[in-house]
Amino acid sequence: MPHIIVKWYPGRTKAQKEALAEAITREVVTVAGCAESSVSVAIEEVAPEDWAEAVYRPDILGKENNLVRKPGYNPFVDKS
């Protein structure tokens, strides 16, 4: 406890992923008051063309009650 999953577009380096995982871990330890050894972080890369159906629909629209911070975009809203 806790396990954090970050989903983002491909293209970040291993160093960037490790830096993000370290930053997330530090903050979780501070806020949650848990041991660093109890924090795990996973990073899933999702192609931009797959984002709406693979992430936005199931994880954002499908779990709105779980969102603590909502995104400021919606790929399903017509932008024309």
Q: What is the pLDDT of residues 11-51, one digit of tens each?
A: 999 999 999 999 999 999 999 999 999 999 999 999 999 99
Read off the amino acid at residue 28: V
Q: Could you tell me which of 35, 38, 33, 30 has the C-alpha nearest to residue 4?
A: 38
- Look at domain 3-66 and name its CATH class: alpha beta
Q: Say whether 2 is catalytic.
A: yes
Which has the higher per-residue pLDDT, 80 or 18? 18
Mean pLDDT of 42-69: 97
Task: Tell me what pLDDT residue 78 has.
Answer: 73
pLDDT-derived band at 75, boundaries 50, 70, 90: very high
Residue 79 has pLDDT above 80, yes or no: no
pTM of the predicted model as reported, rounded to 2 decimal places: 0.88
Q: 2, 48, 71, 75: which one is catalytic?
A: 2
| CA separation for the pair 27, 59 (Å, rounded) | 22
